[in-house]
Structure 1
Amino acid sequence: MTTQAIDGSPTSGQIKAVSHKKNAGTERPMERQAFVALAKHSFLMVCGTMMVFPFLWMISGSLKSNDEIFSSPLNLIPETFRWETFVETFHSAPFGLYIFNSFSVALFTTVLVIINSAMFAYALTQLRFRSKTVLYFVVMGCYMLPGAVTYIPSYITLARLSLLDSHTGLIISNAASVFGVFYLRQVFIKIHPSLIEAARIDGAGELKILWAIMLPQCRAAVATLFLITFITNYNSYMWPSLVITSQELNLIATGIRHYFIAEGNYGLNWSQIMAASTIAVLPLLILFVVCQKTILSGIADNGVKE
């Protein structure tokens, strides 16, 4: 039995027991936090592996021979690295021209989308006019329409403007984005009104407020929209295949299809198919690395420095 001091103060044994209970109570939450963190990281690693595996398999297939692709499809490390496949693929078709066409069309289209979306979103959030809410719901209604619904009217419009079989027609037909308007509107709403009021008091016009104040505060959102729009237009296949008929104007997706299907090589040169796909993806990876720092550095910025 534990004894208590004469003056009523706890003994050393009682102090040790209390401290042991406190330590046990603090260790349990720490163990739970460690377990939760381990489970989260394990889940993210599994999801990341599932997303990266097709890309790794594509690179691995481009370095294998056709026989090795079918004999050991799940083996990511080739028995012999055939780097010459990339050289043969790049010289067997004008993939450099296709990549340049896709890059230029996607770049000009993305710039126009950002300009139009920023001006439209600014009008919806900062200007006061009648039927602003109705206009916003009309825009959202257009967002719900499938993209294929717009192919026929857009094709007829380009035909009347004599813009078929041209990159200009592709750029103009994709220069507006409902998603861009919706995305930038949600970002502009979060900017504190005091910034806009202070700029108007100083005599700044609406365009100056938009380009000099609002867009710099939303660099992460603009970079994200730029990346999404660029990748969408770079990888576009259906609409460019309807508008473009000249082989020298083909984008990378239609160019790969034309070479490996129309030329009768589909199903025969799988290593070259994987190599061509890898070459087509490389510009997107470079662009993602360039935009990644801007996206991550400003993703939590709401436009107000406290």
Structure 2
Amino acid sequence: MWNHFAEAWQLAPFGQYIFNSSFTAIIIVLIQVLNSALIAYAFTQFTFRGKNVLFAIVLLTYMLPAAATYVPSYVILANLNMLDTYEGLILSNAVSVFGIFLFRQAFMQIPKELIEAARMDGAGHFLVLWRIVYPLSKPTFISFALISLVQNYNSYLWPSLIMNSAEKQLITTGLRQFFIQEGAYGIQWPLIMAASTFAILPLLLLFALAQKWFINGISDQGLK
């Protein structure tokens, strides 16, 4: 019933929860895309001693269970006085090993002749990355950004460990708090379903928009 949406919205600050999740997820995605692209570019375009060993070490960190990193990450944030802060949440998620691997695989498919021609014309590495590499691997950028945004928006366990202030709760932890508050909402399933709709609505809008961008990215891969 429509009145359940209005009632659920008034019982908890879902607008603030959605803003917190969207804001932190977008910042994290921007940082991850930037550093993943830069690191992948270095692995594919630079030649230096120990490159393969270094990449293997990066991949090995991806094999660690996420829960195994929570204690040392918590201690580091505590020493930096970044617990219960947006900065701590963003910093602790600033690097994506999956993004580095994904971009590296995409960059390896780009013809080296294009990059060599750009370098001969005097283009620097950042210009090559922006004008050559990025347009030819745009679908990879869009796909990773979408995956990372959904993952960070839906993140629950780690934010619940380091974020304690009510005004800084993400939508996942806020929804759980709404569910268990005073033991009442656990039996009010219409309100729970309405609140869950608030949580997934931004993702539905994201998929509707990202589908168009993804198709445009695929159709813009022709060599010019």
Scaled to the shorter chain, the TM-score interval is over 0.9
Give the alignment partner of residue 279 of structure 1, picking from 190, 198, 210: 198
Distance in 2 between residues matched to 1:263 and 1:228, nearest whole Å: 35
Whether 1:122 aligns to 2:9 is no
2:178 to 259, 262, 275: 259
1:178-235 superposed Cα distances (whole Å, 9 cap, x missing partner): 0000111111011111111011011111111112221122111101000000000000
Aligned length, in residue pairs: 224
Query: Counterpart of 2:223?
Result: 305
1:237 aligns with 2:156: yes
2:77 paired with 1:152: no
Displacement of 1:300: 7.3
8 Å CA contact 1:117–1:177 kept in 2: the answer is yes
Q: Offset of 1:263 from its aligned partner?
A: 2.9
> Structure 1 counterpart of 2:154, which letter?
N
Kindly indicate whether the alpha-carbon contact (under 8 Å) linking 2:146 and 2:210 is maintained by their aligned counterparts in 1: yes
Letter in 2 for 1:277: S
| Bigger fraction of residues in helix | 2
**Distance between the aligned counterparts of 2:131 and 2:72, measured in 1?**
37
Structure with greater Cα Rg = 1
**CA–CA separation in structure 2 for the residues paired with 1:294 and 1:195:** 25
Residues 60-99 of structure 1: pairs in structure 2 closer than 5 A:
82-99=1-18
After TM superposition, give the deviation of residue 294 of structure 1 in Å.
2.2
1:4-83 correspondence runs (5 A):
82-83=1-2
Q: Conserved in 2, the CA contact under 8 Å of 1:155 and 1:243?
A: yes
Q: Distance in 2 between the 1:220 and 1:175 partners?
A: 21
Alpha-carbon distance in 2 for matches of 1:220, 1:126: 20
Deviations along 1:122-180, whole A, 9 cap, x unmatched?
01111111111001111111111111111011111111111000111000100100000
- Which whole-Å deviations, capped at 9, do the CAs of 1:97-141 have from their partners, x for residues lacking one? 000000000000000000010001001111111111001111111
Letter in 2 for 1:234: Y
TM-score normalized by the length of structure 2: 0.96
Partner of 2:143: 224
Asked if 1:293 corresponds to 2:212, the answer is yes
Larger CA deviation: 260-269 vs 203-212: 260-269
Q: State the Cα distance separating 1:257 from its structure 2 match.
A: 0.6
Per the alignment, residue 32 of structure 2 pairs with 113
Q: Secondary structure at the match of 2:187?
A: coil
TM-score (norm 1): 0.71
C-alpha separation in 2, matches of 1:244 and 1:238? 10
- Distance in 2, matches of 1:150 and 1:273, equals 32
SS at match of 1:162: coil
Q: Deviations over 1:225-257 (max 9, x none)?
A: 000000000000000000101010000000011
Mean CA deviation greater in 84-93 or 260-269: 260-269
Is residue 2:92 matched to residue 1:193? no
Q: Could you tell me which amino acid in structure 2 is paired with residue 107 of structure 1? A: I
Choose from 91, 94, 102 the match for 1:172. Answer: 91
Query: Which residue of 1 is the match for residue 81 of structure 2?
Result: 162
Contact 2:185–2:191 under 8 Å retained in 1 = no
Give identity over the alignment, percent: 51
In the aligned structure 2, how far is the partner of 1:271 from the partner of 1:254?
Answer: 19
Structure 2 runs not aligned, ≥5 long: none
| CA distance in 2: counterparts of 1:189 and 1:226, whole angstroms | 19
Deviations along 1:250-269, whole A, 9 cap, x unmatched?
00000011121143224211
Note if contact 1:219-1:294 (Cα within 8 Å) is conserved in structure 2.
no
AA paired with 1:112?
I
Q: CA deviation at 1:304?
A: 5.2
